[in-house]
């Protein structure tokens, strides 16, 4: 039985209408079976050979814009048009769907480097649900086996995962309280050797620190370093239209906000908030929190949270890092286009994080800057700062 998000089967690729088409910037490997078919079907005509890298059996990208060489001017796939959907490389048929096996648990989900997938899975007000697929058959292609890490909690991973998702979806608490609740729970898990864990029945909020005062300058300095890190990567890949687009938004944010001498450093963060109605709406109008909640629950589901690192609280720290970069993206996008609808902003903020930061594996470059925050703040202070 395969566990999947409830709306998984409803996903439809919008093809030529897609704003950030996935047929660019990525190496597209051709699986062995499909490669053999191409040789038989078309006798490997010169035109096709020119578009395929024979050494590593992948499709070449166009030099000018890093698009797949089989993507036509009409933004439609030439392989699809000439040979039909069954003869596309497996990875093209599957994306953004992917399958995972972890222990004895099979899951299938959608990669969030696809805007329609984000909209389908995360934007409905109802909490995201995970259900078993009706199909008994397990996929025999393109799945990822996550290695069992040497973690003391690995034998409870299903139980811990369900508890964490339940906590994050309990709307009787604010999002901040729910994250604090998960932090309380994971600290308990890390400190105790038990054979079973139950849902904690109360949230312990540590109010002992002055969470905001004096921290905004550090936060903005860290954001500034992260923006520089991202700009470096985008600069190297600026033939790719997605990186180019993101780079333009980051440059605007850096020039207009981070380097604007009119903003007194001490009040920088508050000035930022004052200058974008979209961002104020996002911060004040918590009615958009369901998208962030659904994102957290979904990431917990796809990553078997909190299993991975030896300490479960380290996994929470990684999750907070992701949320904070999405926060930064929300800030960047709301300044770039002040009239954009906040839901669009959040969706694009998630997209750019998943496609660029996670997709290009640049999180490792940015994480050390971000981790500096932790040297000065506790897990609880971080959650408080991020959610206020
Ligand atoms: S990103 Fe998603 S919707 Fe867009 S072309 Fe790719 S699979 Fe289709």
Average pLDDT (319-324) is: 92
Give the residue from 94, 117, 135 where a domain finishes. 94
Centre of ligand 1 to C-alpha 17, Å, is: 9
Span from the CA of 116 to the centroid of ligand 1 (angstroms) = 7
Is 193 inside any structural domain?
Answer: no
Q: Are residues 226 and 86 in the same domain?
A: no
Query: Measured between alpha carbons, how far is 312 from 271 in angstroms, rounded to an integer?
Result: 36
Q: What is the pLDDT of residue 314?
A: 87
CA of 20 to the centre of ligand 1 (A): 7
The pLDDT of residue 14: 94
Helix, strand or coil, per DSSP, at residue 143: strand
Range of the domain at 301: 216-387
pTM: 0.90
- Ligand 1 — pocket residues by CB below 6 A? 13-15, 18, 21-22, 95-96, 114, 116
Establish if 148 belongs to a structural domain: no
Tell which of 94, 127, 144 closes a domain: 94
Widest CA span in the chain: 72
Mutate to test the pocket of ligand 1, among 19, 22, 70 (most ligand atoms within 8 A of CB): 22
Domain boundary among 72, 94, 116: 94
Mean pLDDT of 88-94: 91
The pLDDT-based confidence of 269 (bands split at 50, 70, 90) is low
Helix axes 289-302, 342-352, angle to 10 degrees: 20
Ligand 1 atom, smallest distance to 19 CA: 4
Do β-strands 2-5 and 52-53 pair in parallel, antiparallel, or remain unpaired? unpaired
Number of domains in the chain: 2
pLDDT band at 320 (very low <50, low <70, confident <90, very high): very high
> Three-state DSSP class for 24?
strand
Residue nearest to atom 3 of ligand 1 (CA): 13
Of 7-16, 41-50, 351-360, the least confident: 41-50
What is the tens place of the pLDDT at every residue in 332-346? 998 888 777 889 999
Q: Does 123 map to a domain?
A: no
Distance CA 30, CA 376 (A): 47
Q: Decide if 272 is inside a domain.
A: yes
CB 369 within 8 A of CB 226: yes
Question: Which range among 90-104, 184-198, 202-216, 250-264 has the greatest average pLDDT?
Answer: 90-104
Q: How far apart are CA 205 and CA 258, in angstroms?
A: 32
Residue 104 CA from chain centroid, whole number: 25
Q: Is residue 354 part of a domain?
A: yes
Q: Are 228 and 376 part of one and the same domain?
A: yes
Ligand 1 atom at minimal distance to the Cα of residue 113 = 1
Residue 319 predicted with pLDDT over 80: yes
* φ/ψ (deg, to 5) at 379: -60, -40
Q: Find the Cα–Cα–Cα–Cα dihedral 364, 368, 370, 372, rounded to 10°.
A: 170
- Domain assignment present for residue 287? The answer is yes
Q: What percent of the chain has pLDDT over 70?
A: 83
Any domain includes 87? yes
For residue 47, report the distance from its CA to the centre of ligand 1, in Å.
Answer: 25
Q: Looking at residue 62, what DSSP letter applies? A: P
Give the range with max mean pLDDT: 14-18, 201-205, 257-261, 263-267: 14-18
Ligand 1 centroid–CA 6 distance in Å is: 19
Residue 358 confidence (pLDDT)? 84
Averaged pLDDT for residues 308-328:
87
Q: Which one is predicted more confidently, 173 or 297? A: 297
Q: Whose CA is nearest to atom 2 of ligand 1?
A: 114
Residue 110 lies in a domain: no
What is the chain's mean pLDDT, rounded?
83
pLDDT reported for residue 172:
92
Q: pLDDT tens, 117-166?
A: 999 999 999 999 999 998 777 666 555 555 555 556 667 788 889 999 99
Which atom, in ligand 1's list, is nearest to the CA of 18?
A: 4
């Amino acid at each position: 039985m395969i566990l999947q998000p409830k709306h998984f089967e409803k996903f439809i690729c919008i093809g030529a209408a897609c704003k950030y088409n996935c047929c660019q910037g990525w190496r597209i490997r051709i699986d062995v079976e499909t490669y053999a078919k191409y040789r038989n079907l078309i006798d490997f005509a010169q035109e096709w050979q020119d578009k395929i890298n024979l050494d590593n059996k992948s499709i070449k990208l166009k030099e000018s814009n890093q698009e797949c060489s089989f993507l036509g001017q009409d933004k439609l796939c030439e392989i699809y048009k000439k040979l039909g959907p069954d003869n596309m490389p497996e990875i093209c048929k599957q994306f953004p769907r992917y399958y995972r096996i972890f222990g004895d648990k099979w899951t299938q989900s959608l990669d969030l480097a696809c805007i329609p997938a984000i909209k389908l899975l995360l934007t409905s007000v109802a909490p995201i649900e995970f259900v078993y697929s009706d199909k008994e058959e397990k996929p025999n292609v393109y799945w990822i086996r996550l290695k069992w890490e040497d973690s003391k909690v690995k034998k409870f991973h299903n139980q811990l995962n369900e508890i964490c998702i339940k906590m994050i979806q309990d709307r009787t608490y604010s999002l901040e309280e729910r994250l604090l609740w998960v932090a309380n729970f994971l600290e308990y898990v890390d400190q105790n050797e038990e054979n079973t864990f139950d849902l904690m029945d109360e949230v312990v909020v540590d109010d002992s620190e002055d969470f905001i005062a004096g921290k905004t300058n550090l936060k903005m300095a860290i954001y500034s370093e992260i923006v520089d890190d991202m700009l470096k990567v985008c600069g190297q890949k600026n033939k790719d239209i997605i990186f180019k687009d993101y780079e333009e938004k980051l440059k605007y944010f850096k020039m207009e906000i981070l380097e604007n001498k009119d903003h007194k450093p001490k009040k920088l963060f508050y000035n930022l908030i004052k200058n974008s109605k979209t961002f104020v709406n996002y911060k004040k109008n918590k009615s958009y929190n369901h998208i962030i909640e659904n994102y957290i629950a979904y990431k917990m589901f796809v990553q078997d949270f909190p299993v991975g690192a030896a300490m479960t609280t380290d996994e929470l720290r990684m999750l907070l890092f992701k949320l904070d970069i999405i926060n930064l993206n929300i800030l960047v996008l709301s300044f770039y286009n002040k009239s954009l609808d906040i839901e669009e902003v959040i969706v694009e903020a998630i997209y750019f994080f998943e496609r660029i930061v996670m997709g290009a594996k640049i999180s490792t470059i940015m994480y050390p800057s971000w981790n500096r925050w932790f040297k000065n703040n506790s897990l609880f202070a971080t959650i408080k700062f991020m959610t206020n």
